Amino acid sequence: MESDIPKYDLPVDYIVGEGFAKDLLKSYKNFPCKIESGLFILCIKGTMQVTINSNAHHISENDLITLPPNCILEIHTFSSDIQIYYAGFSSHFIESINLMKATQHLLPVIMENSIVALSPLQACSYKMFYESSILSYASYRTRENKEIVKAVLTMFIQGATEIYKLQNNWYLSSQSRKYEIYQEFLQLAMKHYTVHHGASFYANELGLSLPHFCSTIKKAAGNTPLEVIASIILMEAKSRLKSADEPVKNIALSLGFNNISFFNKFFKQHTGITPQEYRGR
């Protein structure tokens, strides 16, 4: 179940910093985890290979990474010279000010395009903002003042919004009905993927014909509904296989497979190896 995926949130309202991030990145390496906080990351040196919400990404210098709360992240590799600026806001703080509602229309686009390549000028502007935020963060009164933290979060969100408006008209495309349907489907899939593996259930829940539903999701996400559902199931399966000694049979049953053989077939079809082989790696 989703509750079995490792979850990471911030114990404080707000953090900001920069530097070599090996220790931070190792926390998210080699298994999927759910990031409950909101993160804004700027890569200033080095490279990373990551998966965000089932989409593979190569991150390099001047890439801006925007992670809304509840993204699923897996870091595969990163170069020895990796260096980033980062700002994070706890899920509790974000919920308490209800600020994310203002950007709901952007979420489907951000979910599919979490990485944006900045121009040198844009990257320079972001670096200056991070550096000023880091200086002010040194003051206890600043980081404990919720109004100041709210203002900083607002600036990060507005900055990301402007970037998305400029980049390839993503902002305009996010207004279309297909992205609304995709976002609604994602919310349903995250809630019901342990029980409903087929597309028909989600089409019915959304009041759409099956052909129209499948076509819309394919256009919005680049994947079929079944591929999206499978990726969510695999994310949890991989996490539980690596993070505990839980019997494979129990994992299979809790993910909605009637028996372990069906689960083994599903897992091997999508990964090329059995669950047991994956656990032994």
Digit-coded pLDDT (tens) for 60-102: 999 999 988 878 888 999 998 999 999 999 987 876 665 554 5
Number of domains within the chain: 2
Same domain, 165 and 42: yes
- Within a 10 A sphere around the Cβ of 274, how many other Cβ atoms? 15
CATH number at residue 247: 1.10.10.60
Residues 108 and 104: their CA atoms lie apart, in Å, by 8
- Widest distance between CA atoms in the chain: 58
Distances (CA, A) of 137 to 97, 260, 263, 270: 20, 51, 48, 45
Same domain, 181 and 97: no
The answer to which of 16-25, 120-129, 188-197, 254-263 has the lowest mean pLDDT is: 16-25
Same domain, 68 and 133: yes
Same domain, 141 and 209: no
Helix (H, G, I), strand (E, B) or coil at 215: helix
Same domain, 17 and 125: yes
- Judged against a pLDDT cut of 90, whether residue 261 lies above it is answered with yes
CA 187 and chain centroid, separation: 13
Helix (H, G, I), strand (E, B) or coil at 78: strand
Give 69's contacts (C-beta < 8 A, 6+ positions apart).
Answer: 35, 36, 37, 38, 91, 94, 100
- Within a 10 A sphere around the Cβ of 208, how many other Cβ atoms? 18
Distances (CA, A) of 195 to 44, 68, 113, 258, 278: 42, 26, 28, 11, 23
The whole-number pLDDT of residue 1 equals 43
Of 173, 199, 228, which residue is a domain's last? 173
Describe the strand order of the beta sheet including 48-52 as a list of residue ranges: 7-8, 33-35, 71-78, 48-52, 55-59
Q: Which of 268, 267, 227 is nearest to 251 (CA)?
A: 267
200-205 average pLDDT score: 97
Which domain covers residue 248, as residue numbers? 177-280
CB 6 within 8 A of CB 77: no
The whole-number pLDDT of residue 255 equals 94
Tell me the residue ranges of DSSP E strands in 26-99: 33-35, 38-45, 48-52, 55-59, 63-67, 71-78, 83-89
CATH number at residue 150: 2.60.120.280
* pLDDT tens-digit readout, 203-237: 999 999 999 999 999 887 778 999 989 988 987 88
Of 113, 141, 173, which residue is a domain's last? 173
Of 150, 173, 196, which residue is a domain's last? 173
244-261 average pLDDT score: 91
Same domain, 211 and 114: no
Same domain, 113 and 163: yes
Same domain, 99 and 68: yes
Q: Which amino acid is at 14?
A: Y
Q: Where do the H-state alpha helices sit in 114-176?
A: 120-137, 140-144, 146-166, 170-173
pLDDT above 70: percentage of residues in the chain? 85
